[in-house]
Each structure stands twice: as structure tokens, then as C-alpha cells.
A and B are shown apart, each in its own frame.
Chain A
């Protein structure tokens, strides 16, 4: 799957991470990591536990502030922006252990993803003024079409999130992120804890997101089958450092990567 948008000499990087370092109380989580993510591609981040994958994702989405280095979205520096501002610039993410609004219905969760894009003020929405109602209806239709149909979850609309299986909750998490209409989608272990069928569904959805919507995807995943099938490029981290980068085939043969994984197993 090395062809297509993943040509390494292509310079359409939507996201660039430069010499990013982050430490927690003297322990280096990230050590001078560089990363370029090409627009329209699926980029995988792999590495043994504690390699700094989630820390990297948190630096990109704004939950962590790096000690050194920069994060650039479309060439614009976002290193100091909080998560909500980055969301407004088109970065959406899901969470490793799903982080949904538990007490709300699936529909309300997904609508909240689109929430930040609405313009109507508090007063006009409370008084149900015509334009606020129109905006609400438009949002509802859009969410139906672009999210519920797309992710085959029409039947889940009215369910409370807490009553769904973990696999379905992860789908809702993805749905909510898609409702934000992001340009860059960050997925933290999208198939972790899923059975085979759920994993296949999720992998298909991720491919559709990239192919049909043209959304750039960065994903962290331990399931090597999924990484190798989906990703155009793969970046391997170990102990906070980038040890390899390339096509899935290159990464599989990379001696450093093999050593990092075997070293962990030994």
C-alpha cells in the first residue's frame, strides 16, 4: 500500500512535528521527535508500551504542552494552543478507553461533535427563533447523512452510551469525531479491546474516512495486521525516540523495530 498519497518526497504535510520533547518529572516521554504527516494519507504510529505514542498524540491534540519543539498544522504553529482551539482548526481525536458523555444518548453525543460549529446564540436557541431552529435541523440532517448512515449506526441513535458494548462505544467515539468535520483525525488504538468482527468493521470505516472523505488519519495501534493493512506510512517509537519511519513493508523489515519489539518480549 505504499503508492498513492504517501510518496515521501511529496511536500503536502498537513501536520509537522519538530524536535518535540516532553518529560514527566525527569522521565523522558518524548525525545526530540520529528514527524511529517502527509495530507490525505493514513499514518500509523507503533511502538512498545511506554514508547510515547499517546504522549505524542496528546501533544498534537493539545492536551500536553511539550517542553521543547513545535507542532505545526498546515505550516501554522499551534504548539501553545489549547485543545478547543485546535479542534476549531480541524483536529479531532478519539480516546484509547473511549471518553464519551456517558449519560447522554448516542445522538446527543454525536451532535455535540458538531456543536462547536454552530453559530446560534444561547438566547436565540432557547427562544427557538427561526434561524436557530433551521440551523438545528440542518445539523440534524447533516449528522444523519454524514455520520449515522456512513458508520451504519442508525439503529443506535436513541440508545444511552452506557448501555452499548465497548466496540460500539468506540464507533460512537469515531462518529462524534467525524461530526466535527475534521481535516486531521487522530485515533488512539481504534481497535483495542474489539473482537474480530468489530475490528474488521472499524478498519473498513477508517479506510472509508480516508478514501471517501479525504480526511488525513493518524492512528496509534498495537494490532500489526490493522497497521500494515491500513497505513501508507508507519512511524515507530521506542523509549520516546523515533527509531524508524517508512512504508509498512520497510518497517516490518527494519532491524531497530524488530529489536524494540523482541527486546520488550524478552
Chain B
């Protein structure tokens, strides 16, 4: 029983971080219809921005996170303006290939700037673990989870209650009508990419504080595909729920099944097995719009 609770709790914690990555992905998909395969690399770059600010500039963590967020916002807007806007109206597959290309470029750039070496953040969070009855969660997981949750909350509330958020929702709902209402949809596209890069950067930083960073950190971004497929490509609540579900599933599989197999690795496979199953049963996800195309 204690093991189950422990696994559930760690699953929720991991899932919160997946959810944050997924939210950024969903924002871009909703607003622009682009499937962004470079999400993981945006995480990785965000992590390196914060790492550099902390080590080279000796910035405190909060400031480093803020700098990473600002840099990511700029990078997101730049990518949209330079790479994606000229592709407006092109076929989805071309745009997808371009985001895959972007992910390679980002990885290469990181390799050139920071080398392929594996690095760790300096110690950041207080060491005391969070004890909830039988469940003990290490501080290096609890703090990242709290940060991820806060980021999701800010984005979610902003989307719901601000004017810009309303403009973004309207654009996602009906681009043509939003345009006719006087909403500058190019600005919405640009903001969506900025916001996606920011959420990815925050996620990258928290993942980096847990497990260290290298140019390969972006590989974890692929985990978000089961999340968004489960939740629905165009649903923010879906991203949140999908994130937690996949996180829990992964941890349960790791806790109960991995010890039974000599090689282990069930934990890595289960989310993608779930992905295949979901695509067969409910391709638009739990909360997604039914018309969403299958790729």
C-alpha cells in the first residue's frame, strides 16, 4: 500500500512537469495548427540559459529562471517570425519537417556553445523532503513540481481572463472571424510561440535541476506526445490531466513491472504503448476536438 501511494505521488509530480511541456505544445497547436517537434529542444535551451546565468553570471536561481524565461520568449518570437511565418499556408507535413529540422539545429547549437558534456545545476532548493504520511517526496522533486504547477496556473488564468488570452482563444476558435474582429492574428501567432518557448524553458529548467542537463535533454520532450494524444492536441485541461495520467502510469509500470524483468525499461515503453492504444480507441484524445486530423 505504501509503495502504491509512493508511486502515485511520484507519478503526479513527474506528470505535473509533463503537463507543463504539453501546455506549451497545445498553445502552439491551437493557435497556429503547427505540431512542434522542437518542444524538447526548447526545453533544453531554456535549461542552458538558466544554467549559464547561474554559473557564468552567478545569478540567484529566481533571477536565472526569469532570464531564461525572457530569453525563451525572445527565441520563440524569433523562430515564429523567421522560420514559421514564411511557411504560413504550406502543407502540415512541410511545417512538421521544419520543426524537426529546428530541433536538430538547436541540438547542434547547444553542442557548439556548451559542448556535449553533462552538467549539473548548483544546489538550489532546500534539502528537507516533503513528508505526507507514508509518502516521502524528495525536495528536488517537490520544488520543480511546485514551479511547474505555478507556471501552468499562470498560463491557464492568463488564457482565460486577460484580453490577450481572449484574443488567443478567439484566434484558435475561428481565425477568420478573429481577424475580422480586429484581432492581430500575426501577433497572436508570435505570442503563442513565445509562450510555448517560455513554458518549455521553465519545464527544461526544472527537469534540469532534477536530472542534470546536456544537449540530449530534449529527448524527454518526446514523452509529451503520449500526454497530448491522451489529453487532446488542442485542450489545455487535457494537457494537465494527460500529463498526470502518463506520469502516474509510467511510475506504476516502473515500480511494479520493472523489477520483474531483467532488463527493466518498462517505464520508458509504457507511455508509448498507451499512445498507440489511445490512437486506436479515441484518436482525438479525452478533451480534444473530434475533427483533429490523425497524422
Q: A186's closest neighbor in chain B, by CB?
A: B180
Mark B226-244 against chain A: 1 for CB-CB distance below 8 A, else 0: 0000000000000000000
Mark B163-202 against chain A: 1 for CB-CB distance below 8 A, else 0: 1111101100110111111111110000000000000000
Q: A108's closest neighbor in chain B, by CB?
A: B166
Determine whether B57 belongs to the interface, using a CB cutoff of 8 Å to chain A: no
Q: A104's closest neighbor in chain B, by CB?
A: B173
How far is B158's CA from A116's CA once the two chains are assembled, in angstroms? 17
How far is B180's CA from A118's CA once the two chains are assembled, in angstroms? 16
- Contact status of A122 and B163, CB under 8 A, knowing A84-B184, A100-B174, A112-B170: yes
Determine whether A69 belongs to the interface, using a CB cutoff of 8 Å to chain B: no
Q: Are A115 and B163 in contact (CB under 8 A)?
A: yes
- Interface residue SS majority, chain B: helix
How far is B181's CA from A180's CA once the two chains are assembled, in angstroms? 7
- Contact status of A95 and B181, CB under 8 A, knowing A120-B163, A125-B161, A126-B157: no
Chain B residues positioned under 8 Å from A122 (CB to CB)? 158, 162-165
Interface residues of A in 88-126 (CB under 8 A from B): 88, 92-93, 95, 99-104, 112-113, 115-116, 118, 120-123, 125-126
Chain B residues positioned under 8 Å from A113 (CB to CB)? 181
Chain B residues positioned under 8 Å from A102 (CB to CB)? 173-174
How far is B262's CA from A235's CA once the two chains are assembled, in angstroms? 81
Q: Can you spell out 13 A-B residue pairs with CB atoms less than 8 angstroms apart? A: A63-B176, A84-B184, A87-B182, A95-B177, A99-B174, A113-B181, A115-B163, A115-B167, A118-B163, A122-B162, A122-B164, A126-B157, A126-B161
Determine whether A83 belongs to the interface, using a CB cutoff of 8 Å to chain B: yes
Q: A92-B180, A95-B180, A99-B177 are known contacts; what are 8 more A-B pairs with Cβ within 8 Å?
A: A63-B179, A84-B181, A84-B182, A99-B180, A101-B173, A122-B163, A126-B158, A180-B181
How far is B173's CA from A104's CA once the two chains are assembled, in angstroms? 9
Q: Are B181 and A112 in contact (CB under 8 A)?
A: yes
Which of B157, B176, B183 contacts A115, CB < 8 Å? B183
Question: Sorted from nearest, which 3 A-B pairs have the closest CB atoms?
Answer: A116-B182, A87-B182, A99-B177
Chain B residues positioned under 8 Å from A193 (CB to CB)? none
Determine whether A233 belongs to the interface, using a CB cutoff of 8 Å to chain B: no
Q: Are B162 and A101 in contact (CB under 8 A)?
A: no
Chain B residues positioned under 8 Å from A103 (CB to CB)? 173
How far is B164's CA from A125's CA once the two chains are assembled, in angstroms? 10
Determine whether A75 belongs to the interface, using a CB cutoff of 8 Å to chain B: no
- Contact status of A101 and B180, CB under 8 A, knowing A122-B163, A122-B164, A126-B161: no
Determine whether A82 belongs to the interface, using a CB cutoff of 8 Å to chain B: yes
How far is B174's CA from A157's CA once the two chains are assembled, in angstroms? 20
**Smallest distance from the beta carbon of A231 to chain B beta carbons, Å?**
23
Mark A64-83 against chain B: 1 for CB-CB distance below 8 A, else 0: 00000000000000000011
- Contact status of A95 and B176, CB under 8 A, knowing A101-B170, A118-B163: yes
Q: Are A180 and B182 in contact (CB under 8 A)?
A: yes
Q: B179's closest neighbor in chain A, by CB?
A: A83
How far is B158's CA from A200's CA once the two chains are assembled, in angstroms? 42
**Smallest distance from the beta carbon of A111 to chain B beta carbons, Å?**
8
Determine whether A242 belongs to the interface, using a CB cutoff of 8 Å to chain B: no
How far is B164's CA from A63's CA once the two chains are assembled, in angstroms? 22
Which of A104, A116, A121, A125 contacts B181, CB < 8 Å? A116
- Contact status of A115 and B165, CB under 8 A, knowing A101-B170, A101-B174: no
Interface residues of A in 32-70 (CB under 8 A from B): 61, 63
Determine whether A176 belongs to the interface, using a CB cutoff of 8 Å to chain B: yes
Chain A residues positioned under 8 Å from B174 (CB to CB)? 99-102
How far is B59's CA from A217's CA once the two chains are assembled, in angstroms? 60
How far is B22's CA from A66's CA once the two chains are assembled, in angstroms? 41
Chain B residues positioned under 8 Å from A115 (CB to CB)? 163, 166-167, 170, 181-183
**Smallest distance from the beta carbon of B288 to chain A beta carbons, Å?**
13
Mark B19-52 against chain A: 1 for CB-CB distance below 8 A, else 0: 0000000000000000000000000000000000
- Contact status of A100 and B177, CB under 8 A, knowing A122-B164, A126-B161, A126-B162: yes
Which of A84, A88, A112 contacts B166, CB < 8 Å? A112
Q: A173's closest neighbor in chain B, by CB?
A: B177
Chain B residues positioned under 8 Å from A180 (CB to CB)? 181-182
Chain B residues positioned under 8 Å from A112 (CB to CB)? 166, 170, 178, 181
Chain B residues positioned under 8 Å from A101 (CB to CB)? 169-170, 173-174, 177
Q: Are B177 and A116 in contact (CB under 8 A)?
A: no
Q: B191's closest neighbor in chain A, by CB?
A: A122
Chain A residues positioned under 8 Å from B182 (CB to CB)? 83-84, 87-88, 115-116, 180
How far is B165's CA from A118's CA once the two chains are assembled, in angstroms? 14
